[in-house]
Structure formats: structure tokens, C-alpha cells
Chain A
Amino acid sequence: MIDAIATAPLAALADGPLFGLPLTRLWFGLVFAVFGTFLALDGFDFGVGALFATREDDHEREQLLSAIGPFWDGNEVWLVVFGGLLFAVFPVVYGNLFSRHYLLMFAILGSLILRGLAPEMYEQRHDRQWQQYWGWAFVGGSLAAPFTLGVFVGNWLFGVNGLASAASVTIGLAVVALTVVDGAAFLGLKTRGNLRQETRIYGHMAQVAYLVLAVVGLALGRSVAHVDVTAPTTLALLGSTVVLAVVYVLASRRGRHYVAFAAVIGQVYGLVALVATLLYPWVDPAGGLTAEAAIVSTLPLNLTTIGSALLLPLVAVYFVVLYSAFDGPVDEGDSYA
């Protein structure tokens, strides 16, 4: 009796997509949106890590670590959620894509280990040698992670089967540049004075580099059948990226740091949206899989949809609480450890 009551609505969930929604398309978009959120948020952690290389002064280095200290772990969990959702919604892609890019995946994971561990270790001891080594490890991990992630995205998009192609390496470099812009824009919010001004200059240089590399990367990959660089959505996304780049440069110069940061976040989502629209209807072109073919069956899809609809808004609340608790520039007294 109880079993019958409990399973009746569940059985209905196996009949068809929830509320007749176009769930395949929604999930295709949502998986990329989650990846975009990861890249936008952890991107500034990577960027701050790269900019760490430009700072010699201990006090300034502390400020950079303090700026990302409370946030980076939560930001990185977006990658875990991306992996989990891809597994739940496109299990075939999860297996195929990651096992095909086996060594690259472990290069990403290794970089993330280095990036996560290095700041913790850096703070453990205050002798010069130790901090120098872990400082380098932090910079290295923060550059290698977005680079390998970018190459992975390039391989995914262009259907590369080997380790990498010229196009995917260019996308890797473009993502590094974009995270540096992201980091500089974030430091616009978290630092003051000289440190803010000097990192801003690096941000502007990286912004130019990003635009060039993104266009070159697309040009190199344009021969791949499904990569339609002249499609209206492609041109619109490229156009809005250029506009947002100009907004970032102008706003950061005029001290409108929130506007500048938002313009960079917009560019990150723009890049991920570009990848998604170029891929669709393919979800793994090299594996010969379209989204329709790779989608999980109806019952688990509906369950994941319900779970995510309940949980993702909650997660948004956690992030609002966290970011508002540490709003504004890093205080002199805030220490990383």
C-alpha cells in the first residue's frame, strides 16, 4: 500500500519529459552554463594566481592570497558539479570524452592539485626558499589549469582525437589570457592603490591577447565541418565579446570595478556559449554523439532535473552569502591562514 503510493508518481516520471519540457536542449545548455560558471569564478582564482608572479613584495602577495582565500574552494566545486551533471545527463559522453582525452584530463587534475595545495603550503613557513618554491608552484598550477582546460575544450569543440591540435592549443592560450583578465578585474574589487593599478595594466594586455587568440583559434579550427564561424550566433557572440572587452577596459580605468568585473564574466559566458552553439546538435562530435543520442533515459533525467531545480537555487544563495560576507577590498588585517 505504502509502496504503491510512493511509487505511483515515480512511475509517472518514466512516461515522458517533465511538464513536456525540451529537456535535452535545456540540459545541453545547463551543462555548459555550469561549466561557464566554473570558468568565470575559478577563472579569477587562476588569474590571481598568474598575477602572483608579477608581485615581489610579501605584503602584496599576502593580499592576493587573501583575496581568493575564502572563495576558491567553492569556485572549484562548480567543476565537480559540471562533472556530476555530465555523468548524470550524458553518461556516454562522460565516459567517451574523458577516456579519449586521458592524459589531458590528468594534466588538468594535476594542475588543479598544484594550484589548490600551493597557497596552503606557502603559508606554512616563512623562510624565503620555501615561499619561493610554493609561489612558483602556485603560479605554475594557476597557468597550467586554464591552459589544459582550454585545450580540452578546444579538443572537444574541434573533435580532436590526439593530444591536441594547433587550434585547441590556441584556445588553451586564449583561456589563460581570459583568466588573467578575470583575475585583474577581481583584484579591482579586492585591492586598492598601487597593487590595483599595476594588475589592471596586465589585465588590459591580457584582454587584447584574448581577443586575438580567440579569433585565431576559431580561424584555425574553421575547417571542421560543424564549426560554422560565419553563423549569425557566432558573429553575434564574437561581436558582444568585443563590446564587453571595450566596456571592461573603459570601466576599469574609470574605477567602475563592478561593471568591469561583470564585463569579464560576460566574456567568459560568451566563450562557453560560443562553444555550445558551435557544437549543437553534437555533444561529442569526435565520438559521433548528438545530444539526442547521448541523453540519459527519461526517468533518471526527470529525477536529475527535479534535484537540480531544487538545489541550484540554494547553491546560488550560498554563494551570495559567502561573497557578501567578504565584500569589498581585502583589509590590512585579513590574513590568509
Chain B
Amino acid sequence: MIDPVIASRLQFAVTTIVHIIFPVMSMGLAPFLIYFTWKDIRTEEQVYRQLREFWTKVFAISFVVGTVTGIVLEFEFGTNFAAFSTAAGELFGGPLAIEGMMAFMLEATFLGIFVFGRERVSDRLYMLSSVLVGLGTWLSALWILIANSWMQTPRGFETVMESGQPVVMLVDPIAAYANPRFPWMYVHMQNAALLSVALFMAGVAAYFVWMNRDTEFWRKTMKIALAVLLISAPFQAIHGDAYGRHVADTQPQKFAAMEAQYDTDSSVGLKLLAFPTSLQDITDPRAENLFVIELPFVASILASGGDPGASITGLNDISSENPPVAIVFWAFRAMVGLGMWFILLAFWGGVRWYQGRLFDDDRLAQALAASSLLGIFTVELGWIVTEVGRQPWVIQGVMKTSAGVSPSLTGTEALITLAAFVGVYAALLVLYSYVVTRLIREEAPTRPATPAGDDHQPGATIPNDD
């Protein structure tokens, strides 16, 4: 029978990989919805009402699926990782409890008003509801990432042995919860959510532009999303760059895995593009074997914050147990590569917008439409780097993942639920995609919202309305 440790890890991977899609959607959409609601109330332009109503529907279904998949994650700590929960509950339980009361409650209650209450409450309370729902989604991420970042860079605790098991005692809550990783992670994640949703909105809008079905609704969506993309895409790269330096400082093993650096070396170049020259390079990438296009000294400069001769500690000099280097190395490369593509897309769109030809460039529209889901995919890659990169530790340097699994769990039990989750979550993804696609095709305004004069025929040259 399957090892309960492997099954639990796979199950947690499946359930988080699916779950994260929905919070990304709700956290990314929230600021847009606040803006649409504000414009709708202030200007009473029809297009803003349409934008608010339509994207609220997408938000609502994302929120519901995010709720039901998120509850699973919370309880999985108890069911599958009981030893971890028992050992680290002192530090880990508090943030989850506060998250529930401070954030999840805020979102879930005011969402009721935001989705169902437009006709029942005053403009003021409605506006407030949109803000509180958005605030709730961002506060939720704050507490979840406090808990997660503590596992990456644990601080403010003491380890004592209780009946042969390490138990983590909270000593300094400020050091623990404001741990060094937390601000990096939070900024990177929230901006990633904004970027992903902006790309999704721009991509869907671009599809309608490409099909010559671009009503004012879709044009407005595309412009607003592109504006957000123009800021968030370059910001993610600049911030990510500094984040990498921080990882090199605090989790050298993860950084070495990201760079497939086995031997400690000085004056290391940044592998901008890496090409495998054999199958072995894919499954077991090693820096010295890869054919790479690299920026000389840059990895050293990054890791040290300016010194081109700085040395990077290799995996061989850190520990005998490495994370699965291939997964971390390639996921990191793919994430960075896609991030560069998003910047290119954003500037391409920005130039066309500046030229007044935003809706005339079919290639741009096709590229955006094809990229609409890539932002969310890139978030998954980033989390794979983060979570696989810290293995074999569940709490970096303190507790191994294999030691965190429930002692009473049997392989049969774990296999039953793993198989069930693979089936149920695949079905959830299909249903969610179906609902969102159906909303886009059938519920988005297909008629121009502006007076008849602004109408245009499909296929006709579209005048720019800037």
C-alpha cells in the first residue's frame, strides 16, 4: 500500500494547487470591483454598472469555490499532518483562528450584501460592502501568509523535546509573525493576484476585440486591465529580483536549488535561459552541465546585493538531503520567463494604446487572449518553487515534512481520500471553468452600452474612442 507520507503530501499538493486559483481570482478582482462600484455610484454611467454586475458574478462563483476548497485545507492540517499540528500548533493555530475571525468573516458576510443587496441597501452601505469584501480577501492572505512564511523563516520560538518529539514553543510573537519572509511573500503574492486577474480580464476582452465583438464593455475592461498590467507586471519583476536575494540569505538551500548550483562557487552568472542538452539535464539539472545563456556575475550580485565576486553556497555544502532540484529549477525558470512575457505584453499594449491603436492590433489581441490563464499558471509555478524548494522541511530547519504526518494515518485511508480528491477537484475545475466560460459568453453585455451613434458593425474598422 502507498506510504501515508507520500499520499498526504500529494493530497496537500493537489488540494492547494486547485484551491489557490480561487483566492487569486477573488483577491485580484476585489480592487477592480471596488473601483467599478465607486464609478457606478458616482457617475451612473451604464458601463460601470455592467462592469460591476458582470465581474461580481465571476467573483461570487470564485468565492464560493474558494470557500469550500479552503475549508478542506484548514482541516487537512489536523487530519493528515497531526504531528505537525501538535508540534507547531502554538505558533500556527493562532494565525488561522485570527484569519477566520478577522478576514474570512468580513468577506463572507459583506459578500452577501455585495452580491444580493444592491436594491436593498443604501449606496453608502453598498460601497462600504465592496470595500470590506476586498479588505477581507487581502487580510485573509495576510494571516495565511504569516503562517506560511513562518514555516519558511521560523523565528521567535524555542524547541523543546516532549516524549521524543520536538515541540515548538512561542517565545516572541512579534519576531515570529513579523518574520523576515512575511513582507516579501505578501507583496509578491498580492501583486501576483492583481497581475493574474488583470491578464485574465485583458485576455478575455482581447478575445472579443479580436472577434470584432468589442462592445464598450469589453473595451473598458481591456483598458482598465491593461493599465493595471502596466504597473503590476514590471513591479513583479523588480520586486521578485530583490525577493530572490532575500531567499539566498535566508534559505540558501532553496536558492541553490533554484539555480541548480551543487558546488559552492564565486562569480556566478545568472542563468537567464537554460537549455537542456540531454534528458538527464531535464530530470537532473546541474548548473555546470547546462547550456545556458547567462548574465555574468549577476547571480552573485543578486545573492549578495552588489558584489560580483560573491560566492553562492552549493547544495553539496548545505545538507545531504536536497529538495527535488529539477522541479524547483524548471518551475523557477518558467515563472521568470512568463513574467518577462507579461512585461512584454504590457508594454506592447501600452504602446498601441499610446498610438491610439489599441483595438486595431490583431496580433496583440491574439497574444493577450492566449495568455489569459498564464498569470494564474505562473502563480502555481511560484508556489511550487516556494513549497517544493523548502523540502525536506515542513518548518525550515526545525521539522521534516515526513515527521509532520499523522501517526495514526494508514496508507489505505490516505489513498482513498487522495483518489477522491483527484476526482472531485478535477470535477470542480471543470465546473468552475464551465460556469465562468458560460458567464463570459452569455451574461456579458453584447450590445454597446453607449447611445446608438457609437455602435459599430462587426468586421468594420473600429474607430478609437480615446
Contacts and interface: CB of A to CB of B under 8 A. Distances in A.
B424 interface: yes
B38 interface: no
Interface in B54-87: 57, 60-61, 63-65, 67-72, 74-75, 77-86
Interface string B94-106: 1011111110111
A81 B64 contact: no
A112 interface: yes
A87 B438 contact: no
Given A81-B97, A98-B79, A113-B424, A300 B170 contact: yes
Contacts of B397: none
Interface stretch (A184-192, A242-250, A318-326): A318-326
B450 interface: no
Q: Describe B's contact surface by its main secondary structure.
A: helix
Contacts of A124: 434-435, 438
A275 interface: no
A224 to B, nearest CB: 21
Interface in A286-328: 296-297, 299-300, 303-304, 307-308, 311-312, 314-315, 318-319, 321-322, 325-326
A88 B67 contact: no
A132 B431 CA distance: 16
A311 B407 CA distance: 35
B169 interface: yes
A109 B75 CA distance: 9
Contacts of A315: 101, 105, 109
B113 A70 contact: yes
Given A83-B74, A116-B68, A325-B120, A296 B89 contact: yes
A99 B94 contact: no
Given A81-B101, A321-B109, A325-B121, A99 B406 contact: yes
Contacts of A109: 71-72, 75
Interface residues of A, number: 64
B97 A318 contact: no
B226 to A, nearest CB: 30
A99 B424 contact: no
B78 A6 contact: no
A77 B174 contact: no
Given A80-B74, A97-B78, A124-B438, A318 B105 contact: yes
Contact of A308 (B65, B101, B171, B413): B101
A96 B408 CA distance: 9
Contact of A95 (B89, B94, B121): B89
Interface string B405-435: 0111100010011001000100010010011
B364 to A, nearest CB: 32
Given A74-B108, A325-B125, A99 B409 contact: yes
Interface residues of B, number: 74
A123 B107 CA distance: 22
A105 B75 CA distance: 8
Interface in B148-179: 169-174
Interface-centre pick from B72, B94, B117 (highest chain A CB count, 10 A): B94
Given A87-B78, A92-B89, A311-B101, A303 B173 contact: yes
Q: Describe A's contact surface by its main secondary structure.
A: helix
A106 B70 CA distance: 13
A220 interface: no
A258 to B, nearest CB: 20
B248 to A, nearest CB: 26
Contacts of A303: 94, 173
B112 interface: yes
Nearest to B72: A109
Interface string A205-247: 0000000000000000000000000000000000000000000
Contacts of B75: 83, 98, 105, 109
Contacts of A106: 79, 417, 420
A79 interface: yes
Interface in A69-105: 69-71, 73-74, 76-77, 79-81, 83-89, 91-92, 94-100, 102-103, 105
A334 interface: yes
A16 interface: no
B100 A77 contact: yes
A322 B113 contact: yes
B113 A325 contact: yes
B85 A116 contact: no
Given A99-B78, A99-B80, A318-B106, A91 B64 contact: no
A205 B294 CA distance: 75
Nearest to B116: A70
Contact of B69 (A77, A81, A113, A314): A113
Contact of B92 (A10, A87, A117, A297): A87
Contacts of B77: 87, 94-95
A169 B108 CA distance: 31
B78 A318 contact: no
Given A110-B424, A117-B68, A70 B89 contact: no
B431 A117 contact: yes
A83 B78 CA distance: 9
For the complex of A and B, the 3 pairs showing the least CB-CB separation, nearest first, are A91-B89, A98-B78, A95-B82
Interface of A: 6-7, 10, 14, 69-71, 73-74, 76-77, 79-81, 83-89, 91-92, 94-100, 102-103, 105-106, 109-110, 112-113, 116-117, 120-121, 124, 296-297, 299-300, 303-304, 307-308, 311-312, 314-315, 318-319, 321-322, 325-326, 333-334, 337
22 contacts: A73-B63, A74-B112, A76-B67, A76-B71, A79-B71, A81-B97, A85-B100, A92-B86, A94-B93, A95-B85, A96-B86, A99-B406, A102-B79, A105-B79, A106-B417, A110-B420, A297-B170, A299-B171, A300-B173, A311-B98, A322-B112, A326-B112
Interface of B: 57, 60-61, 63-65, 67-72, 74-75, 77-86, 88-94, 96-102, 104-106, 108-113, 115-117, 119-121, 125, 169-174, 406-409, 413, 416-417, 420, 424, 428, 431, 434-435, 438
Given A79-B71, A95-B77, A311-B101, 12 more contacts: A6-B174, A73-B64, A84-B97, A85-B97, A85-B100, A88-B89, A91-B90, A91-B93, A94-B86, A98-B78, A99-B409, A325-B121
